């Protein structure tokens, strides 16, 4: 029986988890919070869910763009270029984004009689994004389990592995990663220069996957 919802962005990580756990997933949830790349990601999330016969919904979170401070919400020109190791990439943090999304997903799960919320945060995110770390996932899982009648659980199987590890799993599943989006700048093509684009290139190369993504540079 399908017992899970998944937070699915349309990026490499969540699409890999979607295919890995497709037999368990009853509902895919995307969140439109006004980021530069939501318009690129969400249609891909919807497409993959439809391909797998999984219901998909998009939840609007427009208040985040209005009230939260992040270069991810300020237009393509605000996105810094360079590797994630650079301190400038910290500007892309959207405060408590995963906490908000997990809380909503938990409420939707309980409303639909489901037991698990899947999220595809991974080890490479830890140094920059506090709401991707082990401590955060464990604390949120405890809160969600204790705050729901059925004891909803957060399932985050990629927390301690790298993006390259995720890509290797996707390779075994036959995922075409050109049908995913990473670039924080949005636009018609992925820029190839921002932190997520660089991380994407490196992960695909390390996993031995030909990168057929169309980049600007």
14 labeled binding residue: yes
180 labeled binding residue: no
- Report how far residue 174's alpha carbon sits from residue 124's, in angstroms, rounded to the nearest whole number: 23
191 labeled binding residue: yes
DSSP 19-61: HHTTTTEEEEEEEE---TTHHHHHHHHHHHHHHHT-EEEEEE-
Nearest to 136 by CA among 148, 149, 119: 119
8 labeled binding residue: yes
9 labeled binding residue: yes
17 labeled binding residue: yes
- Report how far residue 69's alpha carbon sits from residue 33's, in angstroms, rounded to the nearest whole number: 12
12 labeled binding residue: yes
Spatial neighbors of 193 by CB under 8 A, at least 6 apart, are 81, 82, 216, 217
13 labeled binding residue: yes
Distances in Å between the alpha carbon of 72 and those of 80, 89, 127, 150? 10, 10, 17, 35
Feature table: binding site for Zn(2+): 183, 191, 194, 197
Q: Tell me the binding residues for ATP.
A: 8-18
Annotated binding site: which residue ranges?
Answer: 8-18, 183, 191, 194, 197
């Amino acid at each position: 029986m399908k017992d899970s919802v998944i937070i699915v962005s349309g990026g490499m990580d969540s699409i890999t988890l979607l295919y890995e756990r497709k037999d368990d997933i009853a509902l895919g949830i995307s969140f439109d919070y006004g980021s530069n790349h939501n318009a690129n990601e969400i249609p891909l999330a919807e497409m993959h869910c439809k391909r797998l016969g999984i219901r998909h919904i998009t939840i609007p979170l427009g208040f985040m763009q209005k009230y939260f401070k992040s270069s991810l919400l300020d237009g393509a020109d605000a996105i810094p270029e360079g590797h994630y190791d650079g301190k400038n990439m910290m500007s892309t943090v959207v405060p408590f984004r995963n906490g908000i999304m997990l809380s909503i997903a938990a409420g939707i799960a309980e409303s639909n009689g489901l037991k698990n919320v899947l999220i595809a945060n991974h080890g490479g995110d830890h140094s920059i994004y506090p709401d991707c770390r082990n401590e955060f996932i464990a604390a949120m899982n405890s809160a969600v389990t204790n705050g729901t009648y059925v004891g909803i659980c957060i399932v985050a199987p990629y927390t301690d592995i790298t993006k390259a590890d995720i890509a290797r799993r996707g390779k075994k599943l036959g995922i075409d990663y050109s049908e995913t989006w990473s670039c924080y700048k949005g636009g018609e093509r992925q820029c190839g220069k921002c932190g997520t684009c660089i991380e994407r290139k490196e992960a695909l190369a390390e996993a031995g996957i030909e990168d057929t993504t169309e980049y600007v540079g």
